[in-house]
Amino acid sequence: MNNIEVEKSEKLIKIWIRREIPLNPLNMDTMEEIYEAIRANPEKIVIIAGRNKAFSAGADIKGFLEMKPSDAFHFSTRGNDIMHFIAQHPMPVIAAIHGYALGGGFELALACDLRISTKDAVLGLPEVTLGILPGFGGTQRMKELLGESIAFDFVSRGRKIKGEEALNLGLVNYTSDDPVKFAEQIAEEYAGLPPIALKYIKRLIRKRNDRLFEEEAEYFGKIFETSDQKEGASAFIEKRKAHFTGR
Ligand code: COA
């Protein structure tokens, strides 16, 4: 792992993007390392953050100079696969953003389940200003989060906004002076929640298809086979804190 650092604990992995180039641009090696770190820890909650001055200022523009159309196609296809993989990771994935989250860096944050940012962080998809378009699912995820009209305004002009405005638009969930610490607090809360219910909730909210209402009912039935469900109900009735075991 040359481009990221990984810190692991029992239920959490923290992935730090740490490139030698300033502002942590995302090249394919970095993306593959993030993919590998998450793939190797399917049961863990994930926090992604950036070392030094930024979360990530986007795809490595310097690498674009030598990119042929077929390379660009593969770059976007593989990048999109990795973003989908992150979005579908069974446990919650939280982006903790400071400095810049632009282009591919912001698309990485958009693929996460929650985004926490400093108020003065700069976020956006400025690709159009470079003569290209977002290639890691940014147009689609922005449309889903903001609706067509606001997403179009934002992406078509390559607007960059501060964390505070992103919070008002619903692009980030929270702002904080210390996004990593805030993310750790949320991760700790998740660690105390029943993992089976959490995985089903994530799947229902993040997966895209029309069968989800049926799936919701299926999962609702299945969850009643678990001891965590019984523990949750018992703890409520007995007025004590529930202790969930993942069974
Ligand atoms: N890819 C490669 N290198 C990048 C980069 C990127 N996406 N973003 C910044 N850098 C490099 C700069 O080339 C510069 O390197 P240098 O010191 O070797 O010249 C260094 O990071 C600092 O960037 P600089 O532009 O000098 O800092 P700044 O504070 O004036 O501006 C940004 C910061 C983020 C606003 C500006 O760098 C920028 O707009 N970056 C591109 C963002 C973008 O369009 N991302 C989408 C890519 S598809």
> pLDDT tens, 56-115?
999 988 888 888 989 898 999 999 999 999 999 999 999 999 999 999 999 999 999 999
Is a pLDDT exceeding 70 seen at residue 210? no
**Cα–Cα distance measured from residue 89 to residue 87, given in angstroms and rounded to the nearest whole number:** 6
Whether 44 shows a pLDDT value over 80: the answer reads yes
Confidence at residue 208, expressed as pLDDT on a 0 to 100 scale: 79
Contact 10, 58 (CB under 8 A): no
Among the atoms of ligand 1, which is closest to the Cα of residue 54? 34
Catalytic residue flag (residue 188): no
Question: Which residue owns the Cα nearest ligand 1 atom 22?
Answer: 22
What is the distance between the alpha carbons of residues 109 and 59, in angstroms, rounded to a whole number? Answer: 13
Q: How far apart are CA 94 and CA 115, in angstroms?
A: 6
Protein residue whose Cα sits closest to atom 28 of ligand 1: 23
At 212, the pLDDT band (50, 70, 90 cuts) reads low
Span of 140-154, 204-218, 229-243 with lowest mean pLDDT: 204-218
- Asked if 138 contacts 110 with a C-beta cutoff of 8 angstroms, the reply is yes
Cα separation, 237 vs 209, whole angstroms: 36
Looking at residue 239, its pLDDT comes to 92
Q: Say which range, 11-15, 40-44, 71-75, has the weakest mean pLDDT.
A: 71-75
From CA 86, how far away is CA 240, in angstroms rounded? 35
Buried-exposed string 42-70: b where 16+ CB fall within 10 A, e elsewhere: eebbbbbbbeeebbbbbbbeeeeeeeeee
Dist. CA 95–CA 172, nearest whole Å: 9
222 band by pLDDT with thresholds 50, 70 and 90: confident
Cβ–ligand 1 distance for 134 under 6 Å, the answer no
Cβ 184 under 6 angstroms from ligand 1: no
Has domain 4-177 been given CATH number 3.40.50.970?
A: no
Per DSSP, helices labelled H in 112-194 are: 138-146, 148-156, 163-169, 179-191
Provide mean pLDDT across the span 199-210. Answer: 88
Q: Three-state DSSP class for 48?
A: strand
- Strand ranges for the chain from DSSP E: 4-8, 12-17, 45-50, 93-97, 100-102, 114-117, 122-124, 160-162, 174-175
C-alpha distance from residue 24 to each of 14, 79, 144, 247 (Å): 16, 16, 27, 40
Share of the chain above pLDDT 90, in %: 83
Active site residue 148: no
Residue with tokens 């993942």: 246
% of the chain with per-residue pLDDT over 70 = 99
Identify the active-site residue in 7, 10, 107, 144. 107
